[in-house]
Amino acid sequence: MAETQQTNGIEVLETREWLDSLDYVLSQGGPERAGRLLQQLALHARRAAGVNLPFTATTPYQNTVYSKAQPPFPGSQEMERRIKSLVRWNAMAMVVRANKIQEGIGGHISTFASAATLYEVAFNHFFHASNESGDRDVVYFQGHAAPGIYARAYLEGRIPKEKLENFRRELKPGGGLSSYPHPWLMPEFWEFPTVSMGLGPIQAIYHARFIKYLENRGLKTSTGGKVWAFLGDGEMDEPESLGSITLASRERLDNLIFGVNCNLQRLDGPVRGNGKIIQELEAIFRGAGWNVIKVIWGGDWDPLIQADRDGLLVRRMGEITDGQYQKYFVESGAYFRQNFFGTDPRLLKMVEHLSDEQLARMRLGGHDPIKVHAAFRAAVDHTGSPTIVLAKTIKGYGLGEAGEGKNITHQQKKLNDDELQIFRSRFGIPIPDGELHNAPFYRPADDSAEIKYMQERRKQLGGYMPTRRVRATPLKPVPEALFEEFYKGTEGREASTTMVFVRMLSKLLRDPEVGKFIVPVVPDEARTFGMEALFRQVGIYSSVGQLYPPVHMDTLLYYKEAKHGQILEEGITEAGSMCSFIAAGTAYANHGINTIPFFIYYSMFGLQRIGDLIWLAADMRCRGFLLGGTAGRTTLAGEGLQHQDGHSHVLALPVPNLLAYDPAFAYEIAIIIQDGIKRMYVDGESIFYYLTVGNEPLPMPEMPKQPGIRDGILRGLYRYHTSDKKNTKLRAQLLGSGAIMFEVLKAQAILEKDYGVATDVWSVTSYKELYREANDCARWNMLHPTKTPKVPYVTQTLKGAPGPFIAASDYMKVLPESIAQWVPGKLVSLGTDGFGRSENRASLRDFFEVDAKHIVLATLHALAGEKSSEKDKKDGGEGVTAKMLEKAIRDLGIDPEKRTPATS
């Protein structure tokens, strides 16, 4: 016992001596010198005696920026506090009023309440709408903090009071404000939809990377802008939040700053009740190579921390779980004293000069403008890696009993009169008691000191934020000559539609006008799509060029990485690739650059896997072309059920401004892409495209010379082939799409030759377009009963075509069925409902019943049900009878007892 004490005694002495020496080095050489010394010591210990220091991914639970190293605050703290209070009040009032007027309309008070200081410091000192080089910062605002952003815009005079009144009532006369950031709904205000959690952070990473891409390729000359992403600590649990963080460090994205509001709570309760979210995130991000800045304690704590020579306080801070910290927020100062400091008399002694009241009000770092400013300054000045600022705050800060730190706070939308009064008094809003009940908005006069101050700050920083603007001027249309070879077809040679597309892409890349704007994006699948020749032609983008001699350098197809490389070869990440697509497809607005992205991927891993990002792209008015490669449930042979896509066109239906095409022929692709570039980049429409392309080699025909074919291709339907057969009573119309068009053409030949059915063939390039237009007509007709009814394009086009309509595609039957009510006749749909199989194309098409023989059978069966056929039979004519059908089944070699593909 005595010996241990003695050992301890020596240890204490020894420790003290080392600490004194270190203090001396610190005072003489500063923190950097001390840091180097410590590194040398660690190295020496390891080399000399194999001392292995225990791995720690975290630093102690204290602020990263040492209080003595804080820069002076560059503004008037008092003025900024008053402005912040006004923003707080109006943000709260907006939600409370909206819910008083319309029960259940929703909104969030507590998210912004906890983040107000983070935003206000940034708005007054960091967010550049324009910097000296003409560059700008882009900011991803946390979706649920929207009321705070609106409240500030109201004070700036950018949003009138009437609109504030209509928060979440967008359909009110005069318009309202959308719940969350939606560029679709507020195209001059919001830039980035962020409310689907996790999509903000991943977008921000790829956006920051795309900015470097633009700069390295010489397309963007202004520099120095930062990408800020303000995020929730609960949000960091989304896989998309963390999934791409190593890209940011690998690419040394020092133009990227994450600000995580660590209020320790999410919707239901604590983010990490039994742990510490700040430490966990620090470990993750440090491990990934980010610069981590923690802002945990406010200035009130500085004297205590400085007096904590033995590290007792810091150790105690590190012991407490987040669940317990949250309890301190709602409990009294006495509880805090007893529970936190009461474990050690020395800790108690540290705070004996503070009253319970004072203890309860000790501010956290995220609520202290000086600490937040210091952290942001350090983040902005940091070079060589991305930065994450982890700021500790209290959820519902300022709401007091109405929610501060409580688990219900996220959902709090109403404050009673007492709570309003307390809030008003705490933040010093000059609204008299008598008027409080309705939580009125409050804005001081334009010439008040507060408004003048905030206007001046924004002027200094280049203007208001957020502001969305189309900054690019329209492109010229791509010359017709570029596409002409595709109108000619392949003269009997076989080519897949993927090959056709890649050839078109390669030509576009060479075009002197538009070439430099083309951004091919591919998630490690270029070889699958036969795109490897592009590696050499335009290079793969790499921010460092190519630091190694690539294999096969002597060949034409070597893996060429270059600083000015044009291809974004993203590796295996469809989500990341989609974010690059979005960054490129919105640069026309964000950076005034008309980049045209072409993102090609396995169609199965698109709308199904990253559908939420595609929805976001739509909201963001993103432009560009999504290419669902190796498409079609029966066209992609061998790959089986996790690869074979037969439903992406169904999943494309919900996205309002996404045009979806399933082209069969080279010339169709040419017409669609040419027109797409025009509509998006010349006419400036807020649309984007989805095209499926297959890998089955097929002879691409010449474009039929018929008037209106272009229009037909774009609108979704045109007649491809008219039967030569005259004088026959049996007539049918076949509708084909994508690779199944070639089965349709085979069926047409069989029907004519073996069954005497005169058969026309139609190419349906887009069921979605047909459905949308027909629906529009039907709606208009319902609303205008006295006017001449509009006839949908599909009805007009198919009018008078005799016989039943048989539609066959590589997609689900529901796709053609979506237009059935507008088809002037009986429609039978053949499609690929069900799980795919590993098989060859012929077997797959037999299994899914979309091959020529099933198309023939479906046609004969439909003819048998036709009125004319019934009549023929009565007349003893040549109508199709059940017996004939039975024979056809036999002759065609169809097994009537085979399993149903839809459910097997």
- Can you tell me whether residue 34 is helix, strand or coil? helix
Q: What end-to-end distance do the CA atoms of the chain give, in Å?
A: 75
Asked if 153 interacts with ligand TPP (CB under 6 A), we say no
**The sheet that has 688-692: what strands, in order across it?**
568-569, 518-522, 596-602, 625-629, 688-692, 658-661
Q: Using the rule CB under 6 A, is 235 a contact of ligand TPP? A: yes
Interface stretch with ligand TPP, choices 68-76, 162-170, 265-273, 566-574 (CB under 6 A): 265-273
Contact flag: residue 265 with ligand TPP (CB under 6 A): yes
Shortest Cβ distance from residue 423 to ligand TPP (Å)? 18
Q: Cα 257–260–266 angle (5° rounding)? A: 155
DSSP 778-808: HHHHHH-TTSPPP--HHHHHHTT--S-EEEE
d(CA 652, CA 615): 10
Interacting span for Mg ion (CB under 5 A) from 100-108, 256-264, 495-503, 605-613: 256-264
Q: Which stretch binds ligand TPP (CB under 6 A): 259-267, 432-440, 719-727, 792-800?
A: 259-267
Question: Is 125 an interacting residue with respect to ligand TPP (CB under 6 A)?
Answer: no
Binder to ligand TPP among 64, 111, 580, 586 (CB under 6 A)? 111
**Closest to ligand TPP by CB, 241 or 291:** 241
Smallest distance from ligand TPP to CB 47, Å: 45
Q: What is the footprint of ligand TPP within residues 408-427 (CB under 6 A)?
A: 410
DSSP assignment of 730-747 equals -EEEEEE-GGGHHHHHHH
**Token pair of 779, please?**
């709606």
The rounded distance, in Å, linking the Cα atoms of 328 and 340 is 9
Q: Which of 224, 206, 257 is nearest to 379 (CA)?
A: 257
Residues 337-396 that bind ligand TPP (CB under 6 A): 395
CA gap 746, 563 in Å, rounded: 49
Report in angstroms the alpha-carbon separations of 759 from 706, 762, 889. 19, 10, 19
Q: Which two tokens stand for residue 194?
A: 């962020």
Which partner in Mg ion, ligand TPP, none is near 866 (CB below 5 to 8 A by kind)? Answer: none
In the bound complex, which residue of the shown chain has the CB atom lying closest to ligand TPP?
232
Across the strands, what pairs with 661? 691
Using DSSP's 3-state secondary structure scheme, residue 663 falls into coil
Among 207, 266, 272, 731, which residue interacts with ligand TPP (rule: CB under 6 A)?
266
Of 616 and 830, which has the nearer Cβ to ligand TPP? 616
**Which of residues 277 and 540 has its CB atom nearest to Mg ion in the complex?**
277
In contact, 614 and 655? CB cutoff 8 Å: yes
Structure tokens at 666: 């080279």
Stretch that binds Mg ion, among 197-205, 262-270, 325-333, 560-568 (CB under 5 A): 262-270
Stretch binding ligand TPP (CB under 6 A), from 228-236, 469-477, 765-773, 813-821: 228-236
Q: Which of 197, 214, 514, 531 binds ligand TPP (CB under 6 A)?
A: 197
In this chain, which of 198, 234, 676, 792 binds Mg ion, going by CB under 5 A?
A: 234
The answer to whether 322 contacts Mg ion (rule: CB under 5 A) is no
For position 570 contacting ligand TPP by CB under 6 A, the verdict is no
Is residue 261 part of the contact set for ligand TPP (CB under 6 A)? yes
337 is in the binding site of which of Mg ion, ligand TPP, none (Cβ under 5 to 8 A by kind)?
A: none
Residue with Cβ nearer ligand TPP (35 or 654): 654
Distance CA 765, CA 775 (A): 18
Encoding tokens for residue 249?
């460090």
Nearest approach, Cβ of 260 to Mg ion (angstroms)?
A: 9
Confirm if 669 and 663 have CB atoms less than 8 A apart.
yes
Measured in whole angstroms, how far is the alpha carbon of residue 813 from the centre of its chain?
Answer: 30
Nearer to ligand TPP, 99 or 692 (CB): 99
276 binds, among ligand TPP, Mg ion, none (CB under 5 to 8 A by kind): none
Q: Measured from the CB atom, is 196 or 868 closer to ligand TPP?
A: 196
Strand, helix or coil for residue 758: strand
Residue 232 interacting with Mg ion (CB under 5 A): yes
Record the tokens describing residue 265, joined without a space.
Answer: 């709570």
Q: How far is the CB of 192 from Mg ion (least distance, A)?
A: 19
Name residue, tokens 């400091």: 341
* Residue 413 interacts with, from ligand TPP, Mg ion, none (CB under 5-8 Å by kind): none
Beta bridge partners, 522, equal 569
- Bridge pairing between strands 256-262 and 387-392: parallel
**Closest distance to ligand TPP from the beta carbon of 263 (Å):** 5
How big is the chain, counted in residues? 904
Question: Which spans of this chain sit near Mg ion (rule: CB under 5 A)?
Answer: 232-234, 263, 265
Question: Which spans of this chain sit near ligand TPP (rule: CB under 6 A)?
Answer: 111, 144, 195-197, 232-235, 261, 263, 265-267, 271, 395, 410
